[in-house]
């Protein structure tokens, strides 16, 4: 069963020429879960190898504008295309109020939208996995979401099965499924005779915006992948504390303590490019990555090597070649030295919430 994450927007608060506002698509088998839907997400989907598919579910972490403003536009586009597939939107309490306001923007839709408010401790049971809702520390009603697979049956020992006289064929399958079987000669073989110990399922944890929090530490224990925000670097530690965000090093310390297999940092302030956040985090926790928009993190089972970052994995080949580079702003998938947020970035010109002349984002920048 394939499991991966497509990073569609890795900036926090304001977009940059390189990074869109928060949106991460979780894909498991044929299922698609969009976590947050910052402004521009529908276009990020269109620009990616995913396309603007009729997503059945959107999970919002909280209602700061950078996390949901993409939703009304995307819902409207679906309606203009005559979508009929129902959509469920999940979020912390306040979701129904929020939609009361948004409804005026997107008007009447061609498909049903169900709104489900979730709080810490709620779980969505999906058969082979669960979505666990956990609280975070961001000063407003805010959820983190963990996708946790149930343990898988142990490895089937073919040699042992043969030694016990089980003929190859349907009986193998029934033993693998945990059923005791009767051999033609009359002996019974029980599954525990031929199956190894149960193997852990995978766990992927997405925090949304938060200061380092005990609740995250708890849920992230031994996670395959922790996607944690790192709005700031340590040089802005005070500001991170004041605004209930994290620094690269702060998130890395938590990842280290939780013994996760990989840490992915996102929601970067527009003054950072990425590498400086990665450097400070890796000094604390080596298995840290800072994905760019359109990167993918593939999460195979641990026995197949654990998570790996696929750079530009969701960027169509023609964009990778730089055709979409526009005004030389370096949107070419990682070859340019330009990052997202320096004050001279033409894409930020005149934006009062962007960067001040000193290179510091304005005080109300981080949402
Ligand atoms: Zn926020
Ligand atoms: Zn945010």
According to DSSP, residue 253 is labeled H
- CA-closest candidate to residue 23, choices 2, 1, 43: 43
167 CA distance to ligand 2 middle (Å)? 58
343 CA distance to ligand 2 middle (Å)? 20
Please give all residues whose CB falls under 5 A of ion ligand 2, grouped by chain where several chains appear: 12, 64, 66, 209, 367
Q: CA-to-CA distance for 61 and 283, rounded, in angstroms?
A: 29
Order the strands of the 123-125 sheet from edge to edge: 123-125, 129-135, 143-149, 203-206, 225-229, 262-266, 288-289
- Catalytic residue chosen out of the listed positions 4, 36, 66, 224: 66
Q: Extract the tokens encoding 8.
A: 């569609």
Residue 332's contacts (CB-CB under 8 Å, 6 or more residues apart) are: 319, 320, 321, 322, 324, 325
- CA-closest candidate to residue 246, choices 268, 264, 226: 268
In the numeric block, the tokens 């950078």 are attached to 66
Q: What is the pLDDT along the chain (367 residues), one digit of tens a residue?
A: 999 999 999 999 999 999 999 999 999 999 999 999 999 999 999 999 999 999 999 999 999 999 999 999 999 999 999 999 999 999 999 999 999 999 999 999 999 999 999 999 999 999 999 999 999 999 999 999 999 999 988 999 999 999 999 999 999 999 988 899 999 888 999 999 999 998 999 999 999 999 999 999 999 999 999 999 999 999 999 999 999 999 999 999 999 999 999 999 999 999 999 999 999 999 999 999 999 999 999 999 998 999 999 999 999 887 655 544 434 333 333 333 333 333 333 333 333 333 333 334 444 445 6
110 CA distance to ligand 1 middle (Å)? 31
- Residue 165, Ramachandran bin (φ over 0: left; ψ between -120 and 50: alpha; else beta): left
272 CA distance to ligand 2 middle (Å)? 15
pTM: 0.84
Q: CA-to-CA distance for 23 and 5, rounded, in angstroms?
A: 10
Ordered DSSP codes for 157-175: -HHHHHHTTPPSSHHHHHH
Is 295 one of the annotated active-site residues of the chain? no
């Amino acid at each position: 069963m394939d499991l991966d994450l497509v990073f569609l927007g890795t900036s926090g608060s304001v977009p940059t020429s390189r990074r869109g506002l928060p949106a991460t698509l979780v894909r498991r088998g044929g299922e698609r879960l969009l976590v947050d839907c910052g402004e521009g997400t529908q276009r990020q989907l269109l620009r990616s190898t995913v396309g603007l598919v009729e997503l059945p579910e959107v999970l919002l972490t909280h209602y700061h504008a950078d996390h949901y403003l993409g939703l009304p536009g995307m819902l409207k586009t679906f309606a203009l295309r005559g979508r009929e597939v129902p959509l469920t939107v999940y979020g912390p309490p306040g979701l129904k109020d929020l939609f009361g306001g948004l409804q005026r923007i997107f008007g009447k839709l061609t498909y049903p939208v169900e709104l489900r408010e979730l709080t810490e401790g709620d779980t969505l049971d999906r058969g082979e996995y669960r979505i666990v809702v956990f609280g975070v520390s961001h000063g407003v009603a805010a959820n983190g979401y963990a996708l946790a697979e149930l343990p898988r049956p142990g490895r089937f020992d073919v040699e042992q099965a043969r030694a016990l006289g089980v003929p190859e064929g349907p009986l193998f399958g029934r033993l693998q499924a945990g059923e005791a079987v009767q051999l033609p000669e009359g002996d019974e073989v029980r599954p525990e005779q031929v199956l190894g110990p149960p193997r852990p399922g995978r766990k992927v944890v997405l925090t949304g915006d938060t200061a380092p929090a005990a609740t995250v530490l708890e849920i992230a224990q031994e996670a395959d992948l922790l996607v944690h925000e790192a709005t700031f670097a340590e040089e802005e530690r005070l500001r991170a504390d004041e605004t209930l965000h994290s620094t690269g090093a702060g998130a890395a310390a938590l990842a280290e303590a939780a013994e996760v297999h990989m840490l992915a940092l996102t929601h970067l302030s527009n003054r950072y490019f990425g590498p400086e956040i990665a450097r400070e985090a890796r000094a604390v926790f080596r298995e840290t990555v800072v994905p760019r928009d359109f990167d993918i993190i593939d999460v195979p089972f641990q026995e197949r090597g654990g998570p790996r970052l696929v750079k530009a994995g969701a960027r169509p080949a023609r964009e990778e070649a730089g055709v979409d580079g526009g005004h030389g702003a370096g949107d070419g998938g990682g070859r340019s030295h330009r990052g997202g947020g320096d004050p001279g970035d033409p894409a930020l010109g005149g934006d009062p919430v962007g960067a001040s002349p000193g290179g510091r984002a304005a005080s109300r920048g981080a949402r």
